[in-house]
Homo-oligomer: A and B are copies of this chain.
Amino acid sequence: MSHSGKGWEKMLILTEGRTDRYDAKAAVGIIRYRGAEVVGLLDSENVGKDIEPLLGVGKGVPVVADVASALALGPRTFVIGIAPRGGAFPAEWRRHVLDALEAGLDVVSGLHDFLGDDAEFAEVAARTGSSIFDLRRPRDGIPVGANRAAELSTPRLLTVGSDCNIGKMHAALELQGELVRRGRDVDFVATGQIGIMISGRGVPIDHVLSDFVAGCVEQELLDRAGEGHELFIVEGQGAVTHPGFSAVTVGLIHGSAPDAMILCHNPLRTEQRGGGAIPPLSELVALHEALCRHVHGAKVIAVSLNCGEMDDAGARAAVELAQAETGLPATDPVRFGPAPLADAVEGIL
């Protein structure tokens, strides 16, 4: 999935009936990292309410009941910000998508079911000139990975983690933001639907056949090689020790051929979600470096912690513990800022 621009603009985000941190995590990510382009949320159950207590972000973002009420806010893009339970696309949502397309908005969806394949949606989009972006639709002609990213002159950094859903996208985006503030030209390479919604392009790595995971991210990096960036920050997925998602993780490691990795962890988590115990950080560092050694050597250069559920003192202690355990710089980039991560990265540029 690739969107030509720098990301979608003037976004109206559908969070109908599910405006909470967990279900609406796409909305949370977009508001946090692309908040200036969010014109409103569509949730008939929370019209006119302040959503910050519900999402942790989004103070002042208007909530509307339907597309018609949102038009005064000037939306240009309608983003499906939640996934329906059970996978079926609810009839109530059809109306909102049709309203958006009739109003000439582009529609962005990360659902497994492709909205562009719906005959009625496609017909309306063709008539009004709207585009439908199905972010999980893989590109055609993906090659098998062949370690070609290792030959790029642009270095690559990959975020990896002790579990899925532990802050790999946030670490990547916070780091990118800090390096851009320092005047660096750093490109974020999204590998999941929320990252793609935020950055406007990327590869939906969980929707690729297993033989092509590495080749998919490799090709994306090669395609961007001519853009003149100083660094690619590749969004990691899963965990090398996760019993369900390790295939995706290792495919990303070998496909992106990183020069350096940042290890992400939540100090309160001792068990993987859907998996076994989380190994000591020092062992995770060694395992990641061993997986890279004979493909394209890479070091873990910093630790990024997600201390969102801890108090300040606990978070500071956790950062110090991670530093002591690994001998690497550590921070919670959201709470304490990403400077230690950026300092570590500047050392390899």
Contact = CB atoms under 8 A, between A and B. Distances in A.
Interface of A: 144-147, 205-211, 213-215, 240-251, 253-255, 257, 274-279, 283, 286-287, 290-291, 293-296
A246 B215 CA distance: 11
A162 to B, nearest CB: 10
Contacts of A208: 209-210
Given A147-B276, A243-B147, A295-B275, A248 B207 contact: no
Given A207-B211, A286-B290, 16 more contacts: A147-B276, A210-B210, A210-B213, A210-B247, A214-B243, A214-B247, A242-B254, A243-B254, A243-B255, A244-B254, A246-B250, A246-B253, A246-B295, A250-B250, A283-B290, A287-B291
A85 to B, nearest CB: 16
12 contacts: A144-B244, A146-B243, A206-B211, A209-B209, A211-B244, A211-B245, A211-B248, A214-B243, A214-B247, A279-B293, A286-B290, A290-B290
How many copies the complex holds: the figure is 2
A245 B209 CA distance: 11
A284 to B, nearest CB: 9
Contacts of A247: 210-211, 213-214, 247-248, 250-251, 254
A244 B211 CA distance: 7
A245 B215 CA distance: 9
A209 B211 contact: no
A205 B215 contact: no
A182 to B, nearest CB: 32
A145 B243 contact: yes
A278 B255 CA distance: 18
Contacts of A209: 206-210
A145 B238 CA distance: 12
Most chain B beta-carbon contacts within 10 A, residue among A210, A245, A249, A279? A210
A205 B250 CA distance: 16
A257 to B, nearest CB: 8
Given A209-B207, A255-B243, A276 B294 contact: yes
B277 A294 contact: yes
A342 B233 CA distance: 47
A155 B248 CA distance: 26
Most chain B beta-carbon contacts within 10 A, residue among A242, A246, A274, A291? A246
Contacts of A243: 145-147, 214, 254-255, 257, 295
Contacts of A290: 283, 286-287, 290
A257 B291 CA distance: 19
A210 B251 CA distance: 9
A217 to B, nearest CB: 11
Contacts of A286: 290
